[in-house]
Amino acid sequence: MPETLLIDNGSTRAQSTLALRALARSLGEHSDRPVYPVSLLHADAVPADALGGQRADTLEPWLRAALAAGRRDFLLVPLWFGPSRALTQFIPTLTAELTREYGPLRLHCARELCPLPDGEPRLVDILFDHLQATAAAQACHLRRLVLVDHGSPLPQVSAVRQWLAEQLRGRLGADTQLHEAVMERRPGSDYDFNGERLETVLHRLAAADPASPVLLPLLFLSPGRHAGPGGDIAAICARVESAVPGFRVYPTPVVGTHPALIEILAQRMTAR
């Protein structure tokens, strides 16, 4: 049986690593096998005392230690919605480098969370559940929504958000407006496939109707420096709310908090 790693991009925020560890524990219990929480980059900068005394693992050092100990068979279960360069470039390049240094090894990377063209309907279920729960908690209607992701320089990654938005529209009533936005994007028309920045979309919605709140389904997996408390998304929402008195934005929980994500990850572990 291969060594199984649940791998994310990594964050300098402790809560992101703690969330990854919790997911790995749940996935291990669900699949009855050890699952190691490992980040691609960044997480090793988090002080150990913010992580219960245990520093975060990152991919290259973890693999080198395992290979030095004689282990040669690995399964990576990725926490990315689409085919990011981490999956298409970074990991294959690292695998080739380690093979040159340590000899033959087997490193299989499972599919991303929403592989197109078929997508992943269970992610739509998760987003819809989070929307309904947030609307109930805030006593508001599903009338104005903005599905937001990080933003990517790759059109095939933005296509995942677009696919999920189209599927969500099929679940919502005819009087619901579902917009899309990115937290950030590179300047220039070459990156127009990303769509508009979140701050721009929120300002437009606030100007059109400041009395009606906006629900913000978050296409993020963990509460790091972008989607976590006090992170970039919260700062964007606070700026717009401050500029338009009475206007309110209600973000949903991140995708990684929903129990159904474990079922998706477990299936990715066994698919070949």
- 19-39 pLDDT, tens digit per residue, is 999 999 999 999 999 999 999
Check pLDDT > 70 for residue 14: yes
Residues 220 and 177: beta-carbon distance below 8 Å? no
Residues of the chain with CATH 3.40.50.1400: 3-112, 121-257
pLDDT digit string (tens) for 35-74? 999 999 999 999 999 999 999 999 999 999 999 999 999 9
Cβ within 8 Å of residue 89, ≥6 positions away: none
**Beta carbons of 84 and 111 less than 8 angstroms apart:** no
**C-alpha dihedral over 153, 157, 159, 163, to 10 degrees?**
-150
Q: Give me the DSSP letters along 161-178.
A: HHHHHHHHHTTS-TT-EE
Q: Which pLDDT does position 146 carry in this prediction? A: 98
pTM of the entire structure?
0.96
Provide the CATH topology of domain 121-257.
Answer: Rossmann fold (3.40.50)
Our measurement of the distance from residue 8's CA atom to the centroid of its chain's CA atoms, rounded to an integer in Å, reads: 8
Residue 53, CB half-sphere, CA atoms under 13 Å: how many? 0
Given CATH 3.40.50.1400, say whether it is the number of domain 3-112. yes
